[in-house]
Structure 1
Amino acid sequence: MERASDRARRARAVAHGWELASALTATQSERVRALGGRARVGGSEETREIDDSTRAVGETRAEGGGVKTPATTSGTGDGRPTSARAFYAWYAERVREVELKRIDRRESRAEALRGEIALRDDAETKISEIERELTRMATTQVELKTLSRRTQEESERLIAEKERLQEFAEALRGKLDYFDRLERVAEKFQAGVIISGASSDPDGASTMAPREQVLPTLERLDECLDFVSAHPQYAQGGSYGAKFRELQNRAMSTVREYYVNALRKATKHVQDAANGRNRASGATGESEYDEIVVEEGDETALLYVRFRAGASELRDLTEELEKRERHEEYAALLSDCHVLYCEQRAALVAGSVRKKMRAIASAERGKDVLALTRIGVAHLVEVCQAEYGLFKYFFPNTDPNGALAALMIPLNTHLSDILRPRYITITNLEPLAELVEALKGEIIEGIMKTENALALESGLRRITSDVQERLIFRAQTYIKDRVGNYRATADDLDFPAKLVRARQAKAEDEVDEDDISNWYPPLERTLTCLAKLYRCVDVKTFSGLAHEAVSMCADNIAGAARSVALKSSAVDGQLFLIKHLIILREQIAPFNADFAVSIKDLDFTHMRGHMRRMLSGEMSFFSLTPNNAFYQLASEGRPRVIESKIDSKKELEKQLSAACEAYIMTITKQLVDPMLSFITKVTAFRVSAASQGKSLKDAAFASEDKICAVISQVRIALAEILPKVAFTTKLYLNAQGTRDALLKPIKSNVAEAFAQIVVILDSDFPHGTAERVGVLDPSQLAAVMDEAET
């Protein structure tokens, strides 16, 4: 029983120890986890202790389970407990030792943890300080960045301001430089540098070319003037501009003086050479400053090569002036240079040209003026072409044609001097017209196609204008004497015999064209004159001459028609007038001109009332009121200007229309005059008060016998007169359309007369009276008139 109870106690003790070891182990584990690894330094020892305790307990349990342990407390010789008490004592001892070690280790770990906590707290404090410092540093960094950006922006602004101020200073310095130049240039003028540089020495040579001194000064002055003109808002800009312009004018005067001296030097050089050759050849030379005469063959060497060599330095000057031609002052200076150049060239060339023209006039004495004109113009073209090349050398950027006109116009006068004495004596229109046509068409148009001879155009046009004036004067005289004042001869008025003879002469030839030889002479002369003038004068002048010629011609033809009517018959006079007016109208139609003139007249008709009032005493000469006679005459009595336009074409149409109407009425009266008389009597009978209640058939003049006699007379006239009328009309008028225009109204009038007779007979006479008295119906009448016309 005791051993059983001992074994039970030992088992309980072992179980209790196991539980205690498990509890200790669990407690140890919780402590380890609670420390979170901070006591890992000593953790291995504690673990080893717990493992040792666990192994000891395990061994105890093993012994309790299978080994019998003695109940005594004494141990075995090897130190193992032999009883439960010994085990408990041993176990308690072990527990105390473990607890002591555990406490020591715990204290050491606690101490270590406290040190670590202190370190952690110290680290946390330092970290907080570091975080605060970092935050402060970040704030400071942002402030520094902001301040740096502001500093950079301010620096950039200051740099830009500095650059702007520098640019402004440079610009201001550049602008002030324009004003400072005034003093520098003025000093040069006061010192006489520029003027002395352009002066000429006794030999005529310039001591300093303007290109070296004057032209740069002019360039600077131009820049200053442009600047002052572009900035009028600057203070004293106007006064500076005036001073600059004054200096510019002085510099230009210097250039002009230099240019004149150089030209005179070159001219004198050529004159000396020419006079030397003349003296060497024994010729009497002229003054060295007068025109020179160069022998033929020496013109090129003396007048062009030597002059070009003597004035070669002018080329640089003119090039600089041409570059500045856009300025008005330089354009004027360059124009003066052109004039001076042309004057010097004219002094050199004029003598040779005049000599050549005189030689041409002497050699061509027997030829007409047109041939002389062609030869003279050919020589001038040669001279102009040579002058063109020389001018182009000195003025390379200027059109020579306009500038050389000042040289070629005086040379053209030498041609005019030999031509005018010839054409001024010509009274015939034809050679004058040929000369004008040749000048306008052949010569001037040929020159306009030659580029280097265009400078001759203005001079030749002057000659052409002079010839045209002579032509116009002779045309006016011709129209007045040979057209307006023409007195017709018997042969001129021999109509229609002249036409009959002409028709018989060409009877075999079926030619309907009118023979000009049968025209009235003033008509042929008028058309010939207009044809010659049309291509030779301007449209306005031609219109005035054409109006005068056509009016005079129409009036003369009308007078000749009256003479033909007295000599032959009224019909012949009318057809003569119609024939020539139609020819005149047709022949002037191609002229593209206005045959009208404006005439201004003074109208004094309104002054009659004022004169009547003054003479009647209604207006006094001594009155102080507005009714004063002098005041009224001055204010309201001025003559009125009335402008009227007279068109000779329209007047011609009116004359032709009146002549045709007169002819139609004359022929109509010859054909149906008995009918017209009968119709007039019937009309008078019907309107007469004495015919009230009477019938027309009871009238004595309206008996059937009388009416039959009237119709018979008309039919005889249609059979005899109408064929003659048709023949005469065809004799005068060749155009079928023109004849129809005259004969159709006549036929219409005849038909109208027959129709009126029929109406009278049908209204007042029994039915069938018209057939009994022999009245023709319209178809019969048309057949009779057509047969008579053929």
Structure 2
Amino acid sequence: QNKATDAKSAKTPAKSAKVNMAALSSVRSKQGNKSQMDQLSLWNSKNECIAPLSESQIDSIHQLALLSRHLPMPSDVTQTTMKAEIKDEKDQAKSISSIPASPRSPNMPESFENHGMKQPVETAQQFFSWFADVELQMESEQEQEYRAYSDQLDQYYQLCTSIEEQIDNALYHLEELKDQHVTVSTKANTLHAACEKLLAEQTKLMTVAESINNKLSYFNELEKLSRKLSLPTLSVTSEAFANILARLDECLSFLQLNPSYKESQIYTLRFRQCLLRSLNMIKHYVVSRFKNTTQIILKQTNRVIPPERVFTEYYNNFRTSSAKVKVVTELVEQRANKSKEYFALLQDCRQCYTTQRIAIMTGYIQRWIQTILQEHLRDHCAQVRAGCKFMLHVCHDEYELYFNFYGMGSDEISQLLEYFSNCLYTSLRPVIIKINHLETLAELCSILKTELLEDQIIPKGDELAAFGLIVSNMLEDVQERLVYRAQAYIQNDIDRYNPAPGDLAYPDKLQMIHDMEQKQTPEDKEGLDDSFTDPEMTSIPLGSSTPMNRPMQPLPVVPTADSYAMWYPTVRRTLLCLSKLYRCVDKYIFEGLSQEAISVCIRSLIKASQMIISKKSKTDGYLFIIKHILILREQIAPFEVEFAVKETSLDFSHIKDVAYDLYLKGRKGLTLDSNNTVLKLLLDGIPHVTESYVDSKENVNKNLKEYCQLFINHVTDLFVAPIKAFMDRVKKVREVINETYTGIKRKVTGILMSMSIYLSNKDTEYILFKPIKANVLQTFKKASELISSNYSDEDQQIIGCPSQDQVTMLLATTKVAED
């Protein structure tokens, strides 16, 4: 028992020591864990932070914490495995609960039995042993969950390690596959590049071969084309011939672009020979067609052809072959701008066409022109109008016929139409240059300018352009003849006009017309105006003149037939000539002729005025020229031209001075210095060109002003001649004043009547009489001042010089009585 007790006691200290060591280790571990936790808390403490975290790191930690709250089950732990483990744990618990409990001692409490105390504790050693066992059991029970979790983690770790080994193994195999793939890809790319290179070389060789074949095809075409051109059944109007021409053009173009090819020059010559051969075939076909048609038409037109069949014979028969010929000519026209051979062929074909048309139409046109000239032998305007109308039809038909054979216009058709038109020009020109009548020439200008050029030829454009040139030449001839005849008319019928006694019967003829108008009723005046005609004014009315190239401006309407019937003949002729020229010639020509005509007309009026003065009186002469100058100024005012003409002359006045100086100095002027007169003559002896402007309107106004002033002075002298004589003699005052006053009362009526007859215009009469009245008043004023300064008041009353108001009343009363 002692041994057992010692053994137990030995075991008990050992066991207690073991328990103490376990408790000590537990306390140490707790202290170590606490120190570790303290150190860990310093890592991110607010005061002494060992390892501070950034805001982004803190956010990452919070996100990981949120994600780690619900950890997923491992992929290898399935739901079935979990159910099996739970079932095993339940079975194990049932097995433990099924073990029969040890017989409890009757004296031991149940709670001790529950803690493994089988027997009652009698000693301290037993208690410590039991306590150590209980403590171990409690620790074991407390750590069971963690141990199970640790075992589960060990399993997971082993599983992860196995998976990692498998992944490493897989990565190794993948690396091997990658290396193999790289090797295979490299070999495949190399093979692909080699194949591509071979394909490129194959394509290049095929392209080269095709290019060679294409280029050789042009050389091989020579034999084929030569064989086709030699076929007897080949027609130039067929599509096969057009294809031959196209292929020849292609081959020649290719050889010309590649002159460096072997034998290219030889093949070029051979192809050109083939081209010339084909072009000769075309030329022969076209020329033979034209000539055969011409011969047929000429044979048919040798007999007399009715007018209604002229067009059929000369045009429709020639047009029968146009369809086939145009097919060939269009082939040539399309290539004419690219090759000189085609251009030469086209020119030959067109020349042949014009030659044949000239051979057919020339005789026919000349016969018709001669027929027209004979039908209108005495009417030159009808000749020109009918001839031009005929040529318009010919040009129109020829123009349309030409485009039935050709697709493009050319100089040949213009030359052909110009040739036909020239037949009319050569026939009419001798007739035009023999016309002397201004009216006929003016009407011809109107026909050629308005009816033909403006209304018919210009709107047609190219169709009648050639005929328009001929008409323009004809118009220039007519205008030239008109200008020549106008100049001759101005010199012979105006400048050299010798007035008849009736032309100078002024104021008798005016008084006669005035008396007739006073006796006539308004109905008689209208009948007289309608029935009166003047041979020089009715051919072309003044109010109907219209200029060429300028808008029509009507001339002033003549008041009555009596008015212009009483005009002086040179005025009528001048205005008639200007009215005809104004609508027929160009502006600058009209300006020169108008200046000449107006100057000559004024000279003739001055001459007639002087003759009237010598036969009648100065009053009639002055009023005559004033009347006609006013008429002339009024009638030329509507002409929209400048009557100013520039005249150029040579001034030799300084040459006279130099020559006279040379004559005076003689040999002294031959010295070799600045006084050498010969050298001065050579340097200064060139005449100077001087330019001056002559204005016809200004000349008219100047002459009008001059003769109005002469008339005013003459009437003034006529009225106050006695008082002027008195002012010179200063005697017989009263008789002179009475004589003057009585003379005014007696003569003023006649003067006003003459002014009314000549001028027939109240405004003009007033304007002309106003300065006369002023001069009379001024004369009486001077006489009154002279009397006042030399005579007393009593003498002044005896003299009785009328005052300004009395003289004004006298003139006004007389004028009113006359009205």
- TM value normalised by structure 2: 0.64
For the aligned residue pairs, the C-alpha RMSD in angstroms reads 6.0
Q: Could you say which residue in structure 2 is the equivalent of 1:73?
A: none
Q: Could you say which residue in structure 1 is the equivalent of 2:781?
A: 755
Q: Could you say which residue in structure 1 is the equivalent of 2:108?
A: 64
Distance in structure 2 (CA, Å) of the matches to 1:605 and 1:640: 9
Q: CA offset at residue 579 of structure 1?
A: 1.2
Distance in structure 2 (CA, Å) of the matches to 1:67 and 1:184: 127
Secondary structure at the aligned position of 2:504 is classed as coil
Unaligned stretches of 5+ in structure 1?
Answer: 1-12, 70-79, 229-234, 237-245, 284-293, 682-700
Q: Is the contact between residue 197 and residue 208 of structure 1 (CA under 8 Å) also seen in structure 2?
A: no
Q: Is the contact between residue 42 and residue 109 of structure 1 (CA under 8 Å) also seen in structure 2?
A: no
Q: Is the contact between residue 519 and residue 580 of structure 1 (CA under 8 Å) also seen in structure 2?
A: yes
How has the CA–CA distance of structure 1 residues 569 and 459 changed in structure 2, closer, same or farther, with 3 Å as cutoff?
Answer: same
**Pairing of 1:658-737 with structure 2 (within 5 A):** 658-678=706-726, 681=728, 701-702=729-730, 706-737=732-763
Q: Structure 1 residue 442 and structure 2 residue 451: aligned?
A: yes
Q: CA offset at residue 785 of structure 1?
A: 0.6
Q: CA offset at residue 657 of structure 1?
A: 0.9
Q: Could you say which residue in structure 1 is the equivalent of 2:497?
A: 486
Q: Is the contact between residue 197 and residue 206 of structure 1 (CA under 8 Å) also seen in structure 2?
A: no
Distance in structure 2 (CA, Å) of the matches to 1:751 and 1:391: 87
- % identity of equivalent residues: 24
User: Aligned partner of 1:65: which letter?
Assistant: P
Cα deviation per residue 1:671-706 (whole Å; 9 max; x = unaligned)?
Answer: 123334455x5xxxxxxxxxxxxxxxxxxx546xx3
User: Aligned partner of 2:812: which letter?
Assistant: D
Q: CA offset at residue 558 of structure 1?
A: 0.7
Q: Structure 1 residue 614 and structure 2 residue 625: aligned?
A: no
Distance in structure 2 (CA, Å) of the matches to 1:249 and 1:769: 129
Distance in structure 1 (CA, Å) of the matches to 2:457 and 2:252: 41
Task: Tell me which moved more, 517-526 or 606-615.
Answer: 606-615
Secondary structure at the aligned position of 1:376 is classed as helix
Cα deviation per residue 1:285-319 (whole Å; 9 max; x = unaligned)?
Answer: xxxxxxxxx77555444432343344544534655
Distance in structure 1 (CA, Å) of the matches to 2:606 and 2:756: 21
Cα deviation per residue 1:12-56 (whole Å; 9 max; x = unaligned)?
Answer: x9xx99xx9xx99xx9xx9xxx9xx9xx99998999699969999
**Pairing of 1:99-498 with structure 2 (within 5 A):** 119=158, 122-123=161-162, 126=165, 212=243, 264-277=287-300, 296=307, 299-316=310-327, 319=330, 341-365=353-377, 367-396=378-407, 398=409, 404-448=413-457, 451=460, 456-498=467-509
Distance in structure 2 (CA, Å) of the matches to 1:131 and 1:412: 109
Q: Could you say which residue in structure 2 is the equivalent of 1:539?
A: 587
Q: Structure 1 residue 602 and structure 2 residue 650: aligned?
A: yes
Distance in structure 1 (CA, Å) of the matches to 2:472 and 2:241: 39
Q: CA offset at residue 575 of structure 1?
A: 1.1
Secondary structure at the aligned position of 1:507 is classed as helix
Secondary structure at the aligned position of 2:502 is classed as coil
Q: CA offset at residue 129 of structure 1?
A: 5.8
Distance in structure 2 (CA, Å) of the matches to 1:411 and 1:322: 25
Distance in structure 1 (CA, Å) of the matches to 2:626 and 2:647: 28
Q: Is the contact between residue 330 and residue 406 of structure 2 (CA under 8 Å) also seen in structure 1?
A: yes
Secondary structure at the aligned position of 1:582 is classed as helix
Secondary structure at the aligned position of 2:653 is classed as coil
Q: Is the contact between residue 237 and residue 324 of structure 2 (CA under 8 Å) also seen in structure 1?
A: no
How has the CA–CA distance of structure 1 residues 337 and 755 changed in structure 2, closer, same or farther, with 3 Å as cutoff?
Answer: farther
Distance in structure 2 (CA, Å) of the matches to 1:648 and 1:438: 30
Q: CA offset at residue 429 of structure 1?
A: 1.8
User: Aligned partner of 1:350: which letter?
Assistant: T
Q: CA offset at residue 205 of structure 1?
A: 8.4
Q: CA offset at residue 443 of structure 1?
A: 4.1
Q: Is the contact between residue 664 and residue 745 of structure 1 (CA under 8 Å) also seen in structure 2?
A: yes
Q: Could you say which residue in structure 1 is the equivalent of 2:517?
A: 506
Q: Is the contact between residue 303 and residue 348 of structure 1 (CA under 8 Å) also seen in structure 2?
A: yes
Given candidates 586, 591, 598, the residue that maps to 2:634 is 586
Distance in structure 1 (CA, Å) of the matches to 2:689 and 2:599: 24
Distance in structure 2 (CA, Å) of the matches to 1:328 and 1:547: 60
User: Aligned partner of 1:387: which letter?
Assistant: E
Q: CA offset at residue 354 of structure 1?
A: 0.8
Distance in structure 1 (CA, Å) of the matches to 2:675 and 2:436: 60
Q: CA offset at residue 85 of structure 1?
A: 8.2
Distance in structure 1 (CA, Å) of the matches to 2:338 and 2:790: 101
**Pairing of 1:510-521 with structure 2 (within 5 A):** 513=560, 514-521=562-569
Q: Is the contact between residue 554 and residue 581 of structure 1 (CA under 8 Å) also seen in structure 2?
A: yes
Q: CA offset at residue 395 of structure 1?
A: 4.2
User: Aligned partner of 2:494: which letter?
Assistant: V
Distance in structure 2 (CA, Å) of the matches to 1:314 and 1:83: 152
Q: Structure 1 residue 576 and structure 2 residue 588: aligned?
A: no
How has the CA–CA distance of structure 1 residues 207 and 392 changed in structure 2, closer, same or farther, with 3 Å as cutoff?
Answer: closer
Q: CA offset at residue 655 of structure 1?
A: 0.9
Secondary structure at the aligned position of 1:646 is classed as strand
Q: Structure 1 residue 654 and structure 2 residue 654: aligned?
A: no
Q: CA offset at residue 332 of structure 1?
A: 11
Q: Is the contact between residue 708 and residue 774 of structure 1 (CA under 8 Å) also seen in structure 2?
A: yes
Q: Structure 1 residue 639 and structure 2 residue 648: aligned?
A: no
Secondary structure at the aligned position of 2:648 is classed as strand
How has the CA–CA distance of structure 1 residues 259 and 446 changed in structure 2, closer, same or farther, with 3 Å as cutoff?
Answer: farther
Q: Is the contact between residue 674 and residue 710 of structure 1 (CA under 8 Å) also seen in structure 2?
A: yes
Task: Tell me which moved more, 536-545 or 452-461.
Answer: 452-461
Cα deviation per residue 1:478-523 (whole Å; 9 max; x = unaligned)?
Answer: 1110011111222222222222223233332377745333222111
Q: Structure 1 residue 778 and structure 2 residue 789: aligned?
A: no
Distance in structure 1 (CA, Å) of the matches to 2:752 and 2:404: 80
How many residue pairs were aligned? 657
User: Aligned partner of 1:472: which letter?
Assistant: V
Distance in structure 1 (CA, Å) of the matches to 2:796 and 2:98: 184
User: Aligned partner of 1:711: which letter?
Assistant: I
Q: Could you say which residue in structure 2 is the equivalent of 1:241?
A: none
Task: Tell me which moved more, 258-267 or 662-671.
Answer: 258-267
How has the CA–CA distance of structure 1 residues 773 and 263 changed in structure 2, closer, same or farther, with 3 Å as cutoff?
Answer: farther
User: Aligned partner of 2:479: which letter?
Assistant: Q
**Pairing of 1:14-53 with structure 2 (within 5 A):** none
Cα deviation per residue 1:567-600 (whole Å; 9 max; x = unaligned)?
Answer: 1111111111111111111112222222232221
How has the CA–CA distance of structure 1 residues 675 and 81 changed in structure 2, closer, same or farther, with 3 Å as cutoff?
Answer: closer
Q: Is the contact between residue 369 and residue 419 of structure 1 (CA under 8 Å) also seen in structure 2?
A: no
Q: Is the contact between residue 719 and residue 743 of structure 2 (CA under 8 Å) also seen in structure 1?
A: yes
Q: Could you say which residue in structure 1 is the equivalent of 2:528?
A: none
Q: Is the contact between residue 376 and residue 415 of structure 1 (CA under 8 Å) also seen in structure 2?
A: yes
Distance in structure 2 (CA, Å) of the matches to 1:606 and 1:82: 181
Q: Is the contact between residue 671 and residue 718 of structure 1 (CA under 8 Å) also seen in structure 2?
A: yes
Unaligned stretches of 5+ in structure 2?
Answer: 1-11, 34-76, 78-83, 261-268, 526-558
User: Aligned partner of 1:361: which letter?
Assistant: L
Q: Is the contact between residue 409 and residue 459 of structure 1 (CA under 8 Å) also seen in structure 2?
A: yes
User: Aligned partner of 1:722: which letter?
Assistant: V
Secondary structure at the aligned position of 1:491 is classed as helix
Distance in structure 2 (CA, Å) of the matches to 1:739 and 1:305: 75
Q: CA offset at residue 765 of structure 1?
A: 4.5
How has the CA–CA distance of structure 1 residues 135 and 666 changed in structure 2, closer, same or farther, with 3 Å as cutoff?
Answer: farther
Distance in structure 1 (CA, Å) of the matches to 2:330 and 2:152: 109
Q: Is the contact between residue 342 and residue 407 of structure 1 (CA under 8 Å) also seen in structure 2?
A: yes
How has the CA–CA distance of structure 1 residues 82 and 595 changed in structure 2, closer, same or farther, with 3 Å as cutoff?
Answer: closer
Q: Structure 1 residue 566 and structure 2 residue 623: aligned?
A: no
